[in-house]
Amino acid sequence: MSLALAPLDVTVEIEANLPCRKFDPDLWFSDAPAQLELAKSLCGDCPLRVECLAGAVERSEPWGVWGGEIFERGAVVPRKRPRGRPRKADVARDAELAVEVEERLAANGLETRNSVRLAA
């Protein structure tokens, strides 16, 4: 009697370790800025982060966290703003974060000027 061994399906093993598969999917599409920041942090160690981000940029994802970045209306935003008028300090911090987002996109091989639109 011989036992035939099925080949190991590596994609199932990888998917089981993806943060977006382990945690509540609604976390990546939340309206709360704090929850979106948590989702971004969970993406940090994901083995598919770069591919996820590149696919989201290519598709112009309308919203959610993809590859560790927040998308809103098809653009990468440094952070989700809460409702209401922003404080002056928040506007200044947003300008700094926009530069940081551009650097992260460039580090992942995505040209910010041509392939993705950054929301102001």
Binding site membership for [4Fe-4S] cluster: which residues? 20, 43, 46, 52
Residue 77 backbone dihedrals phi, psi, to 5 degrees: -120, 145
SS3 assignment, position 74 = coil
Binding residues: 20, 43, 46, 52
Report d(CA 36, CA 80) in Å as an integer: 8
Report d(CA 60, CA 91) in Å as an integer: 25
Helices and strands, number each (H, E), in the chain: 6, 3
